[in-house]
Amino acid sequence: MEKEIKQLKKDLEQAIAKVNDVKSLNDLRVHYLGKKGKITGLKEMLKELSVEDKKTAGKLFNDFRQEATDLIEEKEINLKRKALDEQLITEKIDPTLGATEIKTGSIHPLDRTIKEVLDLFVSMGYDVVTGPEIESDEYNFARLNLPKDHPARDMQDSLYVATDYLLRTQTSPTQVRTMEENKAKGPIRMIAPGKVYRKDDDDATHSHQFMQIEALVVDENINLGHLKGTLELMVQTLFGKERKIRFRPSYFPFTEPSLEVDVSCFRCDGEGCSFCKESGWLEILGAGMVHPAVLEMSGYDKEKYSGFAFGLGVERLAMLKYGINDIRQFYQNHLHFLELFERIDKEGHK
Ligand code: PHE
């Protein structure tokens, strides 16, 4: 037995030395240690030995089998290491190469402005609602107290897509839809952001598509004071605690009285500067008390209920807030413009 083991060990060592790849090594493993392998075959010889001899020979056999296993394993580790070394040499990487820049996005200034306004109104219990951008003549005009031949329809150059259907020129139809949908005809507090469209030539201050935020409050005994308080709070939240507002008389067919609302210029604190065209005030939105005819058309008891509404231009608000002087910048999506807001995300607005 000892003799056989010696011979096999010699054979094995020679065979291992010749092997150059993992696959041949596996074949060799099977050849020696597999079920019908040469080393396994030695076991047969053990059977013929006396009990006494079996003990020593058995130990020899087990030790040798272990040794053979270790030798093969060691070779395998070496082969794998060699392969990896070769791979590292052939597949060179250049650590000096510039990394691919991963751009992080930022919230668009219009979304940012809408979110700020919505957050405030939601905190006061307003419901956020939306309405269709393709609107019927009926909702965009008629139910807002602008019948077909009303001259004020010319105030807003409309884009009709079919007879009686147009791209809404304002978010005010959401007022009507909300009042109509409220079957109980009870109090309403709603805020409605969305896109609107007008037949305008685009320039620094005009866009054929822009965004508005509409607000409507309907309840018993709502008066101008409520409107003023609400707008003051909004303006101070957006532009700082020191801001004041003023009302100027205006005209909208769906409000009576109607108002234009100005905020005291936050650049010069009302002194007068180029930003506010020396007036000390910046116009920010249109508002008014809901016209009784509008309440009535939407099924509300105009004797019991009153309401206020306002509609503000999101682009205008964002332009004022961030000092942007061309409305087209919102829609060109130039990265350098949007990156300004990435910085605001990180550092806060100054
Ligand atoms: N819808 C008006 C506009 O687009 C703004 C407005 C809304 C005025 C609500 C009064 C009340 O100009």
Question: Which protein residue has the closest C-alpha to ligand 1 atom 9?
Answer: 310
**CB contact at 8 A, 64 and 39:** yes
**Cα(71)–Cα(15) distance, rounded to whole angstroms?**
11
- The SS3 call for residue 180 is helix
Token representation of residue 188? 């309403």
Range from 121-125, 130-134, 325-329, 334-338 carrying the lowest mean pLDDT:
334-338
Tell me what the mean pLDDT of segment 183-187 comes to.
96
Question: Please, which pLDDT band fits residue 315 given cuts at 50, 70 and 90?
Answer: very high
Pick the CATH number of 109-347 from 3.40.30.10, 3.30.43.10, 3.90.1580.10, 3.30.930.10: 3.30.930.10
Q: How far apart are CA 211 and CA 316, in angstroms?
A: 9
The C-alpha atoms of residue 144 and residue 90 are separated, in whole angstroms, by 76
Range in 90-94, 173-177, 211-215 with the lowest mean pLDDT: 90-94
Cβ neighbours of 320 (radius 10 Å): 22
Residue 325: per-residue pLDDT: 87
| Cβ 312 under 6 angstroms from ligand 1 | no
Distance CA 168, CA 107 (A): 26
- On whether the CB atoms of residues 223 and 307 are closer than 8 A, the answer is no
Residue from 172, 314, 316 whose mutation best tests the ligand 1 pocket (most atoms within 8 A of CB) = 172
In the chain, where the domains are located:
2-90, 109-347
- Does the pLDDT value for residue 350 go beyond 60? no
Cβ–ligand 1 distance for 329 under 6 Å, the answer no
Closest-CA residue, ligand 1 atom 10, reads 287
Q: Cα 53 to chain center, whole Å? A: 80
Q: With bands split at pLDDT 50, 70 and 90, how would you rate the model's confidence at 309?
A: very high
Given pLDDT bands bounded at 50, 70 and 90, which one contains residue 348? low
Confidence of residue 2 (pLDDT cuts 50, 70, 90): confident
Contact 198, 157 (CB under 8 A): yes
pLDDT band, very low/low/confident/very high, at 288 (cuts 50, 70, 90): very high
CB 280 within 8 A of CB 264: yes
pLDDT digits (tens, 9 = 90+) for 107-156: 899 999 999 999 999 999 999 999 999 999 999 999 999 988 888 777 66
- In this structure, the number of other CB atoms found within 10 A of the CB of residue 82 comes to 12
The number of angstroms, rounded, from the C-alpha of 221 to the middle of its chain's C-alpha atoms is 41
Query: Which of 139, 154, 170, 178 best tests ligand 1's pocket when mutated (most atoms within 8 Å of CB)?
Result: 170
Residue 287 CB less than 6 A away from ligand 1? yes
Please state whether 200 falls in left (phi above 0), alpha (psi between -120 and 50) or beta.
beta
Q: Please report which confidence band the pLDDT of residue 295 belongs to, taking 50, 70 and 90 as the band edges.
A: very high
Question: Region 321-340: what's the mean pLDDT?
Answer: 90
Q: Give the least confident one: 45-59, 179-193, 218-232, 260-274.
A: 45-59
Given a cut of 80, is residue 98 above it in pLDDT? yes
The pTM (predicted TM-score) of the whole model is: 0.72
* Mean of per-residue pLDDT scores for the chain: 92
DSSP assignment of 213-266: EEEEEEEET--HHHHHHHHHHHHHHHH-TT--EEEEEE--TTEEEEEEEEEE-T
